[in-house]
Amino acid sequence: MLDGVLAPAPHDISQADASPVQATATRSTCPYCGVGCGVIASPGAKDVVGDPAHPANFARLCSKGSALGETLGLDGRLLYPMRRQADGGLAQVNWDAALDEAAEGFRRVVDRHGPEAVAVYLSGQLLTEDYYVANKLMKGFIGSANVDTNSRLCMASTVAGHKRAFGADVVPGSYEDLDEADLIVLVGSNAAWCHPVLFQRIMRNKEERGAKLVVIDTRRTVTAESADLFLQIAPGGDQALFCSLLVYLDKFGALDADYIRQYTTGFESVLTAARNIAPSIEATAMSTQLREVDIAAFFELFARTTRTVTAFSQGVNQSAQGTDKVNAIINCHLATGRIGKPGASPFSLTGQPNAMGGREVGGLANSLAAHMGFDAGSVDRVRRFWNAPRMAKREGLKAVQMFDAIARGEIKALWVVGTNPSASLPNANAARAALAKLELFIVSDNVMSNDTINGGAHLLLPAQAWGEKSGTVTNSERRISRQRAFLPAPGETRPDWAIFSDVARRMGFAGFDFRSSADVFREHAALSAFENKGARAFNIGGLARLSDAEYDAFEPTQWPIHAGERIGRERLFAQGGFFSPDRRGKFIAPAKPGLATKLTEDFPLRLNTGRIRDQWHTMTRTGLSPRLARHLAEPFVELGASDAERFGVEHGGFARVATPYGDCVLRAVVTDRQPAGHIFAPIHWTDETAAHARIGALVAPFVDPFSGQPEAKATPAIVTPLRFARQGFFLSRKPMALPRDVWWTRVAVADGFGYRVASDLKDDDWAALIRAAAASDDVIELIDETRNLFSGAAFVDERAMLIWSLAPLSPSWDLALELFSLERLDRSERLSILSGRSGRQVEDDGPLVCSCFGVGQKKIEAAIAQGRRSTSDIGKAIRAGSNCGSCRPEIERLIKVSSAAGSSTNWTTTGQHA
Ligand SMILES: Nc1nc2c(c(=O)[nH]1)N[C@H]1C(S)=C(S)[C@@H](COP(=O)(O)OP(=O)(O)OC[C@H]3O[C@@H](n4cnc5c(=O)[nH]c(N)nc54)[C@H](O)[C@@H]3O)O[C@H]1N2
Ligand SMILES: Nc1nc2c(c(=O)[nH]1)N[C@H]1C(S)=C(S)[C@@H](COP(=O)(O)OP(=O)(O)OC[C@H]3O[C@@H](n4cnc5c(=O)[nH]c(N)nc54)[C@H](O)[C@@H]3O)O[C@H]1N2
Ligand code: SF4
Ligand SMILES: [Mo]
């Protein structure tokens, strides 16, 4: 394996990657978040359910996991290699030609400009095996460490914080700790929406064991609604809060002096630094904008609760001081010895399904491989293991720097795999413009069209998608699980690791003769143990000799798994054993807290960006599910009532959100969740799914000095109101090309395409647009000039092919959706399209809350009014919340609001007015 064979003939494409199609149910792992839930897919994937035996979820799935079956269609899939033509169009090419072009292109750029002129940009959604081969090719054979990943935007601050404190990138705890803790502190984490199955574990602990939940967030999320104590902190205030906590723990004798003495270094000087940052609770209240009583309540609870887990996510990582925030949290756990013990640990919640696997492989530009860095010893060790001709000897460029180097023309060839940087990088317009300068721009993806591909990719390589590909992923608790194929690979799609291997071989490199993902995994496992001798935390030497059959049957297992072992360890560091040279954990003094940007008169608001419950990132998969689309269908900006008034923005209207980098037009949602001066917008919509909602274009590109992670949650911004003469919708059997002066967003609907629109188009222009889209003579139409309404439908053989409705205020499309789903419409149904009323009972159920059973807010409110006061009672009565449970926090909120007899602000973004 290590010696490598001679490169095969240039036109040999490895055949070893045909995915097995299962006739029986297949156990696999969910492709979405870092919880890493086990799933079971029935033959043909008609059904995807939770795996009762998987220790991450014990059968539970959230709304996204439950809808997996709906997202497996081949619409929009990239099935063949494609090449950009002179006229800008794409044409199919065969694999031989595509691989030759990639290999020769990379070779040409390296020969002319050196290895630093090429780069690969990877993703936490790739499998460990994909990552391994890409990393080996770049860092051992091409000789450049310009390999980075979207994890830079996601977990990089945690990686850097772990390395500083523990000497290695290790999550010390296990999910069981969330069941066993007496206090769970969530910092910058909207777990109810982003790690729903873990959140349910936390809620069960709360119900059954009385654990307390503290949530620290800048916005009152659904997660915050469930907390015993919610600290609505000012952005960037986290370090001050945790420094202040350290000072408090010292002052009130809550430290574990033995642990500090035996296993750590640096406590005294860090305590001094913490006192400078947070001399008193009053000072902390100033710098965090929190009330002193709330701070004191949190500190008191923390001080007296030994079993405390502090779990953190993007509110911590995505900050220009993210690494310091991570260390400020870890300091408090080291100082109390609450680390790697049952129910007691700091706990980073990973974002993507395999962000951890990428970290283990070394897929970040500042690590070499298998938890080794660029010290001479490591470079030599990895060189010998790989038998590598040209080792990278220093760190490569991190994501944001990488795109800057592309813009400057220094990087000339780029290969993007499994990520959509034109949408997800900060200052995304600049990133997209940079791509246009590349001499060679390759994209490996599952889809034919996304904002990155449409930025001018020269060569598209079709990768196998979830359900087709096969390999391993690691979740937030260091648990390695198998993703297994249960669908045939469609078209000519291939695994990413096989594509990288073929390009490597065509570049003339030996050591890429992998026959299967198991082959790659064994080599990766062997490298982790190679001359390790306990020096490196990541050691899965026990898996280096798995047979193919054992790899196929591999059960979810936590690392480390040393040679001779098959079962790993659940927790680390309870008795020291850190991976720094002196084997001690390190206290790290954070810098004085501050944000990278200042507010100005022109940009007086802070723009926070993040996720919603039922969409995943740039929506390439969840965006295909009509069920998931019903939760929050449109891109929106959320703001508090005082800011809405100050800037003249109305709930349900539109707002232009602008920053120094770009602007978007979004539906305005006014709620009590946003404090004055702070607005929020989700990251999911792109140029594929909306006219003007690619939020990455608005985000400032300033990064953390240690991790290189951008501050994605606090860009200075301004909102201005926008009004359109008409808004409404189209339901069409075919995709529609809407003119530039129409604001639109595409919504997944069954058997067609839904568009929500708004515009000042003149009547004649609307009419022309409708005529073109209708493509039928069988049309019914209503034009009500007094009320300024416009509605109608076009039919072929009594089936509605196009339904539209336009009005000054956005009309509801519930009835139209129902009629659109019918094979034929009778006369009264036709007329009901125009009247908006029908004999059919279409209930106006309000905004959707429960995706699994399609239950809306009004029905839940009615059940509450009938005396059902718990989520389980409501589940029994109307099923809402009784399947995946992702909506339970929202149901609880409705119960709470109605008990308080207040009115609820709902999450609706539809802007549909009754
Ligand atoms: N539904 C859904 N789930 C997902 C994903 C998805 O796309 N959709 N993506 C997955 C991925 S890759 C990731 S990385 C995770 C992310 O999971 P989370 O980190 O939970 O999600 P975010 O919405 O990005 O941000 C978390 C919270 O940080 C808060 N915040 C912002 N600034 C600050 C601050 O200065 N201090 C504090 N304390 N809080 C702050 C925000 O208000 C927000 O509520 O979710 C994963 N799960
Ligand atoms: N403003 C702002 N920006 C952010 C964030 C934020 O909170 N705010 N969050 C950041 C975070 S945490 C993350 S993780 C990123 C996510 O951002 P991205 O990684 O850009 O988003 P995705 O939509 O997940 O892109 C995945 C792409 O890979 C393709 N794909 C999926 N599986 C495979 C596969 O197996 N092989 C190949 N070759 N392709 C595949 C999909 O079709 C899709 O085009 O966004 C970051 N950007
Ligand atoms: S919590 Fe949901 S998205 Fe995350 S892995 Fe589990 S089912 Fe998938
Ligand atoms: Mo992420």
- 135-168 residue pLDDT tens: 999 999 999 999 999 999 999 999 999 999 999 9
Q: How confident is the model at residue 9, as a pLDDT?
A: 41
Averaged pLDDT, 106-128: 98
Question: For residue 120, which ligand has an atom nearest its CA?
Answer: 2
Q: Rounded to the nearest whole angstrom, what is the distance from the C-alpha of residue 308 to the centroid of ligand 2?
A: 32
Q: How confident is the model at residue 885, as a pLDDT?
A: 82
Q: In what order do the strands lie in the sheet with 778-784?
A: 742-749, 752-759, 726-732, 799-807, 789-796, 778-784
Q: Which atom from ligand 3 is nearest to the alpha carbon of 35?
A: 5
- 573-630 residue pLDDT tens: 999 999 999 999 999 999 999 999 999 999 999 999 999 999 999 999 999 888 888 8
Q: How confident is the model at residue 164, as a pLDDT?
A: 98
Whether the Cβ atoms of residue 72 and residue 467 lie closer than 8 Å to each other: yes
Whether the Cβ atoms of residue 869 and residue 899 lie closer than 8 Å to each other: yes
Cβ of residue 235 lying under 6 Å from some atom of ligand 1:
yes
Which tokens go with 824? Answer: 């034929």
The answer, yes or no, to whether residue 912 has pLDDT greater than 60, is: no
Q: Which atom from ligand 1 is nearest to the alpha carbon of 62?
A: 1
- Percentage of the chain surpassing pLDDT 70? 95
Cβ of residue 33 lying under 6 Å from some atom of ligand 3:
yes
Cβ of residue 712 lying under 6 Å from some atom of ligand 2:
yes
CA 137/CA 132 separation, integer angstroms = 9
- 817-876 residue pLDDT tens: 999 999 999 988 888 888 776 555 555 677 788 888 888 888 899 999 888 988 889 988
User: What's the residue count for the chain?
Assistant: 914
Cβ of residue 196 lying under 6 Å from some atom of ligand 3:
yes
Q: Which atom from ligand 1 is nearest to the alpha carbon of 34?
A: 46
Q: Rounded to the nearest whole angstrom, what is the distance from the C-alpha of residue 352 to the centroid of ligand 3?
A: 10
Say if residue 560 is preceded by a cis peptide, omega within 30 of 0: yes
Question: For residue 65, which ligand has an atom nearest its CA?
Answer: 3
Whether the Cβ atoms of residue 314 and residue 351 lie closer than 8 Å to each other: yes
Which residue is listed with tokens 């990552």?
A: 131
Please, which residues have CB less than 5 A from ligand 4, an ion? Answer: 154, 351
Which tokens go with 646? Answer: 């100050």
User: Measuring from atom 16 of ligand 1, which residue has the nearest CA?
Assistant: 351
Q: What is the CA 358 to chain-centroid distance, rounded? A: 15
Q: Rounded to the nearest whole angstrom, what is the distance from the C-alpha of residue 355 to the centroid of ligand 2?
A: 11
Q: Rounded to the nearest whole angstrom, what is the distance from the C-alpha of residue 468 to the centroid of ligand 3?
A: 19
Cβ of residue 422 lying under 6 Å from some atom of ligand 2:
no
Cβ of residue 61 lying under 6 Å from some atom of ligand 3:
yes
Residue 788, CB-side half-sphere exposure with 13 Å CA sphere = 13
Cβ of residue 64 lying under 6 Å from some atom of ligand 3:
yes
Q: pLDDT band at residue 801, thresholds of 50, 70 and 90? A: very high
Q: Rounded to the nearest whole angstrom, what is the distance from the C-alpha of residue 486 to the centroid of ligand 2?
A: 23
- 633-685 residue pLDDT tens: 999 999 999 999 999 999 999 999 999 999 999 999 999 999 999 999 999 99
Cβ of residue 609 lying under 6 Å from some atom of ligand 2:
yes
Which tokens go with 412? Answer: 């000339």
Q: pLDDT band at residue 907, thresholds of 50, 70 and 90? A: very low
Number of Cβ within 10 Å of residue 59's Cβ equals: 15
Structure-model confidence comparison of residues 783 and 354, the more confident one: 354
Q: How confident is the model at residue 909, as a pLDDT?
A: 40
Average pLDDT for the chain: 93
Q: How confident is the model at residue 779, as a pLDDT?
A: 93
Residue 622 φ then ψ, to 5°: -60, -25
Number of Cβ within 10 Å of residue 365's Cβ equals: 28
